[in-house]
A and B are shown apart, each in its own frame.
Chain A
Amino acid sequence: MGKSLVDNHIRKLRFTHDEMTQQQLADKVGVTRQTIVALEKGNYSPSLELAFRIAHAFDLPLEEVFFYGDNTKL
């Protein structure tokens, strides 16, 4: 399995959004905390729908939360 090619800034964004906890984000987007943990570790590429829900939770466009390969903007 290993790391997914779709990476994200979720961990960084949680802290810049009032130090939101994993559980709070999970409740906001309708998944379990385990899924947020897997996403932050880069162990799981979310569905397009979940990716949009997470971007909406941070009030950001999708490409500012998720990126493909080694694009490390933010």
Chain B
Amino acid sequence: MTYQEKKSIVSLISAILIFGSFCLYMYPQHPQGGLESIETLRFWGSFVVVLTLVSIVAHIFISIIFNIVFRITTREKEPTFADELDKLIDLKANRNSFFVFVLGFLLAMGSLVVYQPSQVMFMIMITSGFISDVTGSVTKLYHYRRGV
């Protein structure tokens, strides 16, 4: 298995672990007040902001650890640049990821149209963000394994 394939798998697993553990951490902190209270909206706002920051930091940290482990186990240096194949696969992964997120965004807006509480909108939006991240990693893995 090549560096890029391993990196895609690590990215996929770390995305699932980060999202899963963050949801478990935040679940007990959900406010008990009404569905539309200011406290509930503040909770969802902070959920999105903190999840974004935590996942960026965690991804950087995991990437550094992965590179160190890769160097030790394979005695190979990781590629220091992205060539035309990497860029093409990145574009395809971003396209699929963006498509999934836009679909989720429209679904989230649709939930408001059919009078669902705003926290349903937040849940759909956050879930679509997670699924779009996973879609990006799966697309990369697929194209690195099966070709472009």
Contacts and interface: CB of A to CB of B under 8 A. Distances in A.
A50 to B, nearest CB: 6
Interface string A38-53: 1001111111001000
Contacts, number: 48
Interface residues of B, number: 15
A27 to B, nearest CB: 11
B105 interface: no
Interface of A: 1-4, 30-35, 37-38, 41-47, 50
Given A1-B148, A32-B81, A42-B147, 20 more contacts: A1-B147, A2-B147, A3-B147, A4-B147, A31-B85, A32-B4, A32-B83, A33-B2, A34-B2, A34-B3, A35-B83, A35-B85, A35-B86, A37-B2, A43-B146, A43-B147, A43-B148, A44-B85, A46-B84, A50-B84
